[in-house]
Amino acid sequence: MIFLNATVISLAVLQTAGAPQILDVKTDHDAYAVYAMVLQPQPDNARNSKGPILLQAETEWWNRRCSESLARMSGEWAEAADNFRRENSRVRLLQTGVPMPFEYRLVNRADIWADDARLAAKDPRQRNAPRPGSIKYIAVSAVGFNAARTKALVYVRFRTTEFADALVMTELKDGKWAILPGGCSGLA
């Protein structure tokens, strides 16, 4: 009986440790402000799709070339880079109903992968671009901030008609987040 209870407790701890943490809009409002600014369609953007932006519910981060650029950052950007790595050491779940300057809907990574597998079974030869009919979505990382929370790094990956990604440098100026030149872009 003791063995069974210990096993149940161990499994509960393992499941909790591996479960994604919700990115709470109340405690992480700065992160959502960065997402709203970075994801907002630009007036000169050729995005003519109808309906909401599909945003992957789970955060993600992986880009070898951009990881190397994080290591080269200095000063307050090095603080943001260190925080970025810590924040992205685990998956976070975005919340719905967060006020954004655009309409969006969350889509689970599992649903994307299931759709990709279904389309791959139809045409296994195509690999370098999204297959016709595949889910078009945007994925973001957790946001890394410097200690003063005036500089932030966020990774954004687009899967629309092609693949694109970028590690975006942002700065808080006059109470608003703005994108700075630099960062890292392009698939590595």
pLDDT in tens, 100-146: 888 899 999 999 999 888 888 887 776 666 777 888 999 999 999 99
Q: What pLDDT was estimated at residue 43?
A: 55
Taking the C-alpha atoms of residue 171 and residue 39, their distance in angstroms, rounded to an integer, is: 15
User: Do the Cβ atoms of 87 and 153 come closer than 8 Å?
Assistant: no
Q: Tell me if 90 is assigned to some domain.
A: yes
pLDDT over threshold 80, residue 93:
yes
Q: How many domains does the chain have?
A: 1
Q: What pLDDT was estimated at residue 18?
A: 67
Q: Tell me if 10 is assigned to some domain.
A: no
Q: What pLDDT was estimated at residue 92?
A: 96
Q: Tell me if 8 is assigned to some domain.
A: no
Eight-state DSSP code of residue 135: P
pLDDT in tens, 65-91: 788 889 999 999 999 999 999 999 999
Q: Tell me if 30 is assigned to some domain.
A: yes
Q: Tell me if 11 is assigned to some domain.
A: no
Higher pLDDT, 146 or 42: 146
- The confidence band for 161, taking pLDDT boundaries of 50, 70 and 90, is low
Quote the domain boundaries for residue 107. 20-41+49-185
Q: Is 187 exposed, middle or buried (0-12, 13-18, 19+ CB in 10 A)?
A: exposed
Q: Tell me if 15 is assigned to some domain.
A: no
